[in-house]
Amino acid sequence: MKRSRLIAAVAALVLLGGLGLALANQAGDFPVDPPELDEDYYPCAENCHNDMDVDRTPRMLEDEHSDIVLHHAEQFRWCLDCHDAENRDVLHLQNGTKVPFEESYLLCGQCHGDKFRDWRAGIHGKRTGSWNGQKHYLLCAHCHNPHTPKFKALKPEPPPAVPGGAKAGAAH
Amino acid sequence: MSKDKKTVTTVNPRTASRRKFMKGLAGTAIGATLAGKAMASANSKKSGFLTIHSLEEYLQKNYREMTKEEKAQVLARMEKEYSERYGKDVKVKDTEPIDGVKFTYALDLNRCIGCRRCVYACVDENNQSRENPQVHYIKVLQFENGTMDFEESNRYYDPEMVPEEGKYYMPVQCQHCEKAPCVKACPIKATWTEDDGIVVVDYNWCIGCRYCMAACPYEGRSFNWGDPHLPAEEMNPNTHYLGNRPRMRGVVEKCTFCIQRSREGRYPACVEVCPVGARKFGDMNDPTSEVRYIFEHKRVFRIKEDLLTEPKFFYFFG
């Protein structure tokens, strides 16, 4: 009897702990910059989509959003797999839960669980702020365009001077 | 030339001795040499290598032997001197280590794209000489994929865009070794490891022998072969005695994990600028810190581990 009670208590603790862990770093635990939403489009529902019928057929977009190139497992995916059909101002998870753009990391984390775990721990992605205090997080979408997520190449800063005044680039 | 000589008191290492210097001061030269030169900028090109701006500077003790009052005096003198020289309100701090903190750095080689943003953020933050001599604390080495031979690495790569196909990049800076060979090599104890693990240099005590540079297997130290060129408008006035205060000709300097920032809880400049978030910094003694998480969950390594220098700078693949 005693033992089963103990087991129940331990199980409850583990469950609660797990729940706490899951909730931690999801909202309010650290500041995350708001997403950079295109003012030409957002709020999407109010601007356009409220007046339109929902067409769920995957197709090439020709009238609007034709600049968006989807290069992110595009063979399996289309707009409405992530954007919510009923409310274009939010995203939705696989289970139907609606999430705002501010919490888009929940959407990314459905597939990229390992990166999501590292991001929450502060390992994946850029952190600013204070190493022993308040840290500042960025959303996945700040660095990776969700439609073409590969990190864009950058122009490097100049190489160091070669001792003796030879021209950089001459070595190797 | 003679005009140059008058702008600064210089000590010729071949003939210098404390006795001669004091004797010289007692003589008629005292008024001409010190009063006029006390705060002069170090422009002299010839006549000795070390530069001394004032009697107080010459008689200054090793930082670790100063009392609180002596430190306060030295800092005040430096603030005055630097403020005049750079035309802005320069602060020289002596922030102490935070109790129980052991600073550790981790760098994600899977993320680094070799863009060198860290190199120049470091130069801006730490008041390095911009050219002649050019001082960079961070060297970004480019390797062919599948190799890690430092002799074959290239630090002068300059393509249009990074990252390049088939290459990877490894930034190297002071590794803040637990058993730092540079500290052992210094004949005059001008460099040491602080309680929070930062290896620092007392620039005023350094005699410029460069034994520490010969001892360092990581090229973590740089030498001021000439008067540093630091444009006044680019000078960062938030400085620390053991960190980014302006250096002089003939002394060794190095990465201090941005001591002027990190001891106040801020991330080093290279961490904050890195566009891919490859650089991680924190307290290894804090079980919730990012570096501790990396240490416990990632495969980490240190370069040239076989030398048993025990760096506090880890590389990992995130």
Q: Do B119 and A157 touch (CB under 8 A)?
A: yes
Separation CA A34–CA A46 (nearest Å): 20
How far is the alpha carbon of B27 from chain A, nearest alpha carbon, in Å?
A: 42
Q: Do B134 and A161 touch (CB under 8 A)?
A: yes
Tally A–B CB contacts below 8 A: 107
Measured between beta carbons, the chain B residues lying within 8 angstroms of A156 are: 114-116, 157-159, 161-162
Asked whether residue A7 carries a pLDDT value surpassing 70, the answer given is: no
Contacts of B165 (CB under 8 A, 6+ apart): none
What number of other Cβ atoms are within 10 A of residue A90's Cβ?
18
Bridge partners of B192? B200
Alpha helices in B87-132, H assignment, sequence order: 117-126
For chain A, what percent of residues have pLDDT higher than 90?
A: 46
pLDDT (tens digit, 9 = 90+) per residue, B131-184? 999 999 999 999 999 999 999 999 999 999 999 999 999 999 999 999 999 999
How far is the alpha carbon of B69 from chain A, nearest alpha carbon, in Å?
A: 30
pLDDT (tens digit, 9 = 90+) per residue, B56-106? 888 999 999 999 999 999 999 999 999 999 999 999 999 999 999 999 999
Domain annotation covers residue A52? yes
Asked whether residue B282 carries a pLDDT value surpassing 60, the answer given is: yes
Q: Do A169 and B298 touch (CB under 8 A)?
A: no
Question: Nearest Cα to A122, choosing from B113, A111, A133?
Answer: A133
Per-residue pLDDT band at A127 (split at 50, 70, 90): confident
pLDDT score at A63: 85
Per-residue pLDDT band at B306 (split at 50, 70, 90): very high
For the whole model, what pTM was predicted? 0.82
Say if the ipTM goes beyond 0.85.
no
Domain annotation covers residue A166? no
Asked whether residue B34 carries a pLDDT value surpassing 60, the answer given is: no
Q: Who has greater pLDDT, B272 or B15?
A: B272
How far is the alpha carbon of B118 from chain A, nearest alpha carbon, in Å?
A: 9
Domain annotation covers residue A1? no
pLDDT score at B15: 66
Choose, out of A120, A157, A162, the residue to mutate when testing the contact with B (most B CBs < 10 Å).
Answer: A157
Domain annotation covers residue A51? yes
Q: What is the DSSP string of A72-136?
A: SSGGG--HHHHB-SS-TTEEE-TTS-EEEGGGTHHHHHTT-HHHHHHHHHT-SS--EEBTTS-EE
Bridge partners of A145? A148
The residue-averaged pLDDT of A113-124 equals: 94
Q: Do B274 and A126 touch (CB under 8 A)?
A: yes
The residue-averaged pLDDT of B275-285 equals: 97
How far is the alpha carbon of A51 from chain B, nearest alpha carbon, in Å?
A: 40
Question: Nearest Cα to B253, choosing from B306, B287, B281, B216?
Answer: B216
Asked whether residue B311 carries a pLDDT value surpassing 50, the answer given is: yes
pLDDT score at B41: 42
How far is the alpha carbon of A5 from chain B, nearest alpha carbon, in Å?
A: 32
Question: Nearest Cα to B119, choosing from A169, A170, A160?
Answer: A160
Whether the Cβ atoms of residue B270 and residue B278 lie closer than 8 Å to each other: no
Q: Do B113 and A153 touch (CB under 8 A)?
A: yes
pLDDT score at B20: 61
Measured between beta carbons, the chain B residues lying within 8 angstroms of A170 are: 156
Helices first, then strands: H and E counts in chain A: 6, 4
How far is the alpha carbon of B152 from chain A, nearest alpha carbon, in Å?
A: 9
Among A100-109, B43-52, B289-298, name the one with the lowest average pLDDT. B43-52
pLDDT (tens digit, 9 = 90+) per residue, A46-94? 888 988 888 888 888 888 888 898 999 989 889 999 999 999 999 999 9
pLDDT score at A99: 95
- Domain limits at A132? 29-57+65-143
Domains, in order of start, for chain B: 1-59 (no CATH), 67-318 (3.30.70.20)
Bridge partners of B283? B103
Bridge partners of A93? none
Q: Who has greater pLDDT, B37 or A127?
A: A127
Asked whether residue B39 carries a pLDDT value surpassing 50, the answer given is: no
Count of domains observed in chain A: 1
pLDDT (tens digit, 9 = 90+) per residue, B105-131? 999 999 999 999 999 999 999 999 999
Domain annotation covers residue A8? no
Among the partner-chain residues B108, B115, B155, the one whose CB lies closest to the CB of A160 is B155
Domain annotation covers residue A12? no
- Indicate the SS3 state at residue B301: strand
Q: What backbone torsions phi and psi does residue A3 show, to the nearest 5 degrees?
A: -65, -45
Whether the Cβ atoms of residue A76 and residue A58 lie closer than 8 Å to each other: no
Asked whether residue A20 carries a pLDDT value surpassing 90, the answer given is: no
pLDDT (tens digit, 9 = 90+) per residue, B176-205? 999 999 999 999 999 999 999 999 999 999
Asked whether residue B44 carries a pLDDT value surpassing 70, the answer given is: no
> Based on the number of CB atoms within 10 Å of its own CB, is A89 exposed (0-12), middle (13-18) or buried (19 or more)?
middle
Per-residue pLDDT band at B4 (split at 50, 70, 90): very low
pLDDT (tens digit, 9 = 90+) per residue, A130-167? 999 888 899 999 999 999 999 999 999 999 999 877 66
Question: Nearest Cα to A35, choosing from A93, A88, A103?
Answer: A103
Measured between beta carbons, the chain B residues lying within 8 angstroms of A159 are: 116, 155-158
Q: Do A123 and B266 touch (CB under 8 A)?
A: no
Bridge pairing between strands B238-240 and B91-93: parallel
Per-residue pLDDT band at A33 (split at 50, 70, 90): confident
Measured between beta carbons, the chain A residues lying within 8 angstroms of B160 are: 155
Whether the Cβ atoms of residue B243 and residue B256 lie closer than 8 Å to each other: yes
Q: Do B272 and A128 touch (CB under 8 A)?
A: yes
How far is the alpha carbon of B230 from chain A, nearest alpha carbon, in Å?
A: 16
Domain annotation covers residue A47? yes
Measured between beta carbons, the chain A residues lying within 8 angstroms of B272 are: 128
Choose, out of A32, A123, A155, the residue to mutate when testing the contact with B (most B CBs < 10 Å).
Answer: A123
Q: What is the DSSP string of B232-273?
A: GGG---EEETTTTSPP-TT-EEE--S-HHHHTTTBPPHHHHH
Among the partner-chain residues A121, A132, A169, the one whose CB lies closest to the CB of B158 is A169
For chain B, what percent of residues have pLDDT higher than 90?
A: 81
Domain annotation covers residue A72? yes
Averaged confidence pLDDT in chain B: 89
| Residue matched to tokens 């997520």 | A149
Measured between beta carbons, the chain A residues lying within 8 angstroms of B162 are: 153-156
